Structure 1
Amino acid sequence: MKEKIKEYCLIIVGVFLVALSLEYFFIPNNIAAGGLTGLAIVINHYIPSISTGPLVFIMDLVLFIVGFIFLGKSFGVKTIVSSFSLAGMMTIIEKFFNPQALTEDLMLASIFGTFITAIGMAIVFNANASTGGTDTIAKILNKFFHIDIGKSLLAVDFIITLLGAITFGINIGLYGLISVIINGIAIDKVIEGFHVCKEVTIISSKNDEIGKFIMNDLERGCTYLKGVGGFTGKDTYVLYAVLGRSEFIKLKQHISKIDPRAFITVGEVHEVMGEGFRNIQ
């Protein structure tokens, strides 16, 4: 139950960041940086009586069925929450806060708007949801074709960016394209950052004690690998484990107390699946 509440709280935070970037960077500057929001900006230009918030909500309904069919009930419910939240937040901001562009410099608007959007969308994706629309299509491509979400989003949003260029001119269209490209790359990098773990190999005379600390205190698994010392020619064991950042700090402190002469190598892994980590599915 706590995990579900945490996921929905993260979704709301991520959606809020996306709404802020849209209302204060993209929409006032007519930058159609892909997605249904980009398409809504284009439609709003031709039909100004319909604001972007309700437009996003209407178009999202069309893709909800696709999300339910291909991504399962859990994803569909979360996506409904995030999509309703995004449309609702955008509508509230438009009605009550009269949003204005924080900067009219198109380059600054593209860069800052894109990075805020990327962080927000990465938080939402990491909670196994999307902000709806083209995000759902990107998630489907990721699931069935194993294409990175950022790259999937880039491919899907390219057409909408072209529509923006036709509507608002090639200059603004190119800024929209920059935003789409940066957004695709940034989302993957932010998501990778959420899952970075430490891959640790240890050679120590106290391997048994270190192994017990990893399993009992850190509640992580570890593996003993047989080896032969190149200098001594003696049999030895190499301890291998994958830990979270905070867990590695605790392990390092423990090893420094019991065997300061231990040999340790540490690397970063960007995704770990299996028992104790993310489900392989």
Structure 2
Amino acid sequence: MNINHENDMNDNPKANGRLHQARQRIRQLRQHRRAESVARIARDYALIIMGSLLLALSMHLFFIPHQLVAGGLSGTAQIINKFTGWPIGMLSFVLNIPLFIVGWRYLGGYRFLARTVLASFVFSAALDGLQHFWSNANLTDDLALNALYGGITAGVAVGLLFRARATSGGTDILARILERRFGTPLSQAYLYTDGIVVFLAGLAFGWERALYAVIALYVGGVLVEVTLNGSNVMRVATIITNEPTAVADRIMADLDRGVTDWSGRGMYTGAERHVLLCAVSRADTVLLKHIIHEADPQAFVIIGQAQEVFGEGFRKLREPK
């Protein structure tokens, strides 16, 4: 049977042509995917180097000269350095080794391990190099400014590392696990994971500097989220109304946004109600409320925050990075 089938295929030029075209498409698709993979890897490692260097610069300019603990194991290394004088970068890398194993187990295996080890090594080497060759770096003595700009630059740096599917090591690994496993926002996760370090910093450097360090950690966590996810924070409106057509028509016409209509029932009254769902930008929220008020002043409206929105009218849904 197989021999006859092969003979039929050989005697059918059209079937052979289609088979050849299909094989060509498969080869082209594989080549395209390989090219994309190489480009993505090159981009990721460029981000790792950029993020690690920026993090080292942030530590050197804003945190270390003013005894503001950056949190995590780099902050722990700062505290140990105060009493021993050992290089902060080297200490940070050594303290990271046990957490490399944890990250390998929960955050992506060997690929994650290689990228995180590289990031930690570049950070440690760059920081110790800056400390040795540029030992008198000091932009300002204002603790508030150092906490603010230290948090911003460190947050952007760590966000770049996360975009490259790596971390700088230390409690970044623990924060990433909390974010992935439990949905904890990174700004909160850093406060949880770095709380003990900040407490020890208060004992070592004084409580005023520890309080400024908390500000820096929170600002850094917010900037990590913005760098990692972009500024695509949207608003999602749930509208319970007796005038669904009027409300939906105004939203589609004035805001150019799609609307989904659900059927609902009030559990108290037992009355059938229409539930409209739509996503809008933060800037359109005021106009949305104005539209709803004009179309149905008695509507019940819930407006919440969506971290990301994908699909028609918003960003295209792509494969997670």
What's the TM-score once normalised by structure 1's chain length? 0.70
How far did residue 31 of structure 1 move?
Answer: 0.6
Instruction: Show CA shifts across 1:140-165 (max 9, x none).
Output: 11111121222211210111011100
Answer whether contact 1:37 1:56 (CA < 8 A) is retained.
yes
Equivalent residue in structure 2 for 1:67, among 82, 99, 103: 103
How far did residue 276 of structure 1 move?
Answer: 6.0
Q: Could you say which residue in structure 2 is the equivalent of 1:184?
A: 221
How far did residue 30 of structure 1 move?
Answer: 0.7
How far did residue 277 of structure 1 move?
Answer: 3.3
How far did residue 279 of structure 1 move?
Answer: 3.5
How far did residue 21 of structure 1 move?
Answer: 0.8
Where does 1:136-147 land on structure 2 (aligned, <5 Å)? 136-147=173-184
Q: Which amino acid aligns with 2:144?
A: M
Answer whether contact 1:273 1:280 (CA < 8 A) is retained.
no
Q: Could you say which residue in structure 1 is the equivalent of 2:77?
A: 40
Greater shift, 54-63 or 68-77, is seen at: 68-77
Query: Matches of 1:99 and 1:70 in 2, distance apart?
Result: 40
How far did residue 273 of structure 1 move?
Answer: 6.7
How far did residue 189 of structure 1 move?
Answer: 2.9
Cα 1:280–1:89, aligned 2, differ >3 Å: closer, same or farther? closer
Q: Could you say which residue in structure 1 is the equivalent of 2:60?
A: 23
Higher relative contact order (CA 8 A, sep 6+): 1
Query: Matches of 1:66 and 1:191 in 2, distance apart?
Result: 22
Answer whether contact 1:193 1:270 (CA < 8 A) is retained.
no
Q: Can you give the 5+ residue segments of structure 2 that lack an aligned partner in the other structure?
A: 1-37, 237-250, 262-277, 279-304
Q: Could you say which residue in structure 2 is the equivalent of 1:210?
A: none
Aligned length: 228
What's the TM-score once normalised by structure 2's chain length? 0.62
Q: Which amino acid aligns with 2:89?
A: G
Which of 1 and 2 has greater Rg? 2
Query: Matches of 1:277 and 1:16 in 2, distance apart?
Result: 31
Indicate the percent of aligned positions where both proteins have the same amino acid: 32
Secondary structure of residue in 2 paired with 1:166 = helix
Q: Could you say which residue in structure 2 is the equivalent of 1:57?
A: 93
Q: Can you give the 5+ residue segments of structure 1 that lack an aligned partner in the other structure?
A: 204-222, 227-239, 241-267
Query: Matches of 2:47 and 2:103 in 1, distance apart?
Result: 20
Q: Which amino acid aligns with 1:55?
A: L
> In angstroms, what is the RMSD of aligned CA positions?
3.4
Cα 1:280–1:57, aligned 2, differ >3 Å: closer, same or farther? closer
